[in-house]
Amino acid sequence: MSPFRRLVFAVAALAVSMAVLVPWLGFDYRLAPHKSALNDYRKARVPDMIYGRAHRPFVQRTLVPSTLRLVRRALPRPVLAALRRTVSGPPLFLPRKLGALGWEPAYMVEYAIAMPALFGLLAAFPFALRWLMAGLYATPWAPTVAPLLATALLPALFFDRGTHYLYDFSTLLLFTLALGSLQRRRLGAYYAVFALGCLNKETMILGTLVFAVVEKDLMPRSRLWRHVATQILIFAAVEWALGRTFAHNPGGGVEWHLVKNLRSIRMPPSVASLTLLASGAVLTLARFGRKPAFLRRSAIVVMLPLLVSYLFLGIYGEIRVFYEAYPILFLLAFQNGSEALGFPLLERSAVSATA
């Protein structure tokens, strides 16, 4: 990609990310406030997440909240004063809007620090997806168009229902980076992302399943099992440490919603929901055998556990729990959509075979 195209992509990625973040936070595009889904669940209030008082399991998803707490404590007083002045003036006028958003005025600085941090995590996602896609496809335009489209679709797919959490965008970013590292077989990068991901959310263990199915034909069996065992030990050590740290917080290791979900499933879904689900399934699963093996294998081992956890631990109607699967499912659907419009994507494996 030429420097000019990189610059255009970067500007577009930042613009699209900002357009996505604004409604996610609870503003409209005139920055008028509405009730924010970021702080609407009493067990995972933003200040409680940052200062380690939230309920388990939410408080154990600590990477972003703990980082925000460390940044808050590290900032000198002049910087904090300048930050307060910045968010209090135009165009945000944040103190006037905290009540409408449902954000606590006593923690205005914490929210002011969180907003650019969340923007950075979200804005990094299209770059991570471009990296993953460039490793899978040799079609020059695809890694530029697809990540921007994937980012722009986030509000329609994920923001309609349910609470927003500080770890949402970090989950999306870190799992996409893990997929890109595995696809390129950069194990050092993968382990770094995996360790951070375990601090971010327990679903990072799904990366181990992707590792196993991707590497099973590429790595000697004994070495493969050593890597799998190492990842399980890292995951277990992180979970043990987090469990000890937050052992006295209310809550438990998981929240069970099976009975509530079974009751909700009895209610017939709307025609719009059925249409969206059916079209998404067709777009993703059509010509499944022709998709890159990496995406096919990853989709199976990621989606099956997520579907089970969605029934038992998720909340019916909220698909936020599928952030880990989103880059995989999006690329599967994007290939079908692109081919249907007459723009086929060329896999890198096919290029190597014909070279």
Residues written for the chain: 355
* Residue 275 belongs to some domain of the structure: no
Task: State how far the Cα of 254 lies from the Cα of 153, in Å rounded to an integer.
Answer: 29
Task: State how far the Cα of 241 lies from the Cα of 235, in Å rounded to an integer.
Answer: 10
> Among 25-34, 214-223, 270-279, where is mean pLDDT lowest?
270-279
* Residue 273 belongs to some domain of the structure: no
If pLDDT is split at 50, 70 and 90, which confidence band does 271 have? low
Closest C-alpha to 183, from 153, 157, 207, 151: 207
* Residue 152 belongs to some domain of the structure: yes
Task: Tell me what the mean pLDDT of segment 174-181 comes to.
Answer: 98
Range of the domain at 247: 3-258+280-354
* Residue 263 belongs to some domain of the structure: no
Q: Is residue 328 predicted with pLDDT exceeding 50?
A: yes
* Residue 268 belongs to some domain of the structure: no
Q: Is residue 64 predicted with pLDDT exceeding 80?
A: yes
C-alpha torsion sign, points 42, 45, 47, 49: positive
- Give bridge partners of residue 137 from the DSSP assignment: 347
59 backbone dihedrals φ, ψ, rounded to 5°: -65, -25
Task: Tell me what the mean pLDDT of segment 171-194 comes to.
Answer: 97
Res 268: pLDDT:
67
* Residue 224 belongs to some domain of the structure: yes
Q: Is there a contact between 48 and 107 (Cβ–Cβ < 8 Å)?
A: no
Task: State how far the Cα of 335 lies from the Cα of 325, in Å rounded to an integer.
Answer: 16
The total number of structural domains that make up the chain = 1
Quote the mean pLDDT of the chain.
91
Q: Could you tell me the pTM of the whole model?
A: 0.93
* Residue 271 belongs to some domain of the structure: no
If pLDDT is split at 50, 70 and 90, which confidence band does 351 have? very low
* Residue 64 belongs to some domain of the structure: yes
Tokens of 144: 């530029």
Say what the alpha-carbon torsion angle 348, 351, 353, 354 is, to the nearest 10 degrees: 170
**pLDDT greater at residue 307 or residue 125:** 125
Q: Is there a contact between 260 and 313 (Cβ–Cβ < 8 Å)?
A: no
Q: What is each CA distance from 132 to 126, 179, 217, 332, in whole angstroms? A: 10, 7, 20, 13
Res 153: pLDDT:
94
Percent of the chain with pLDDT over 90: 76
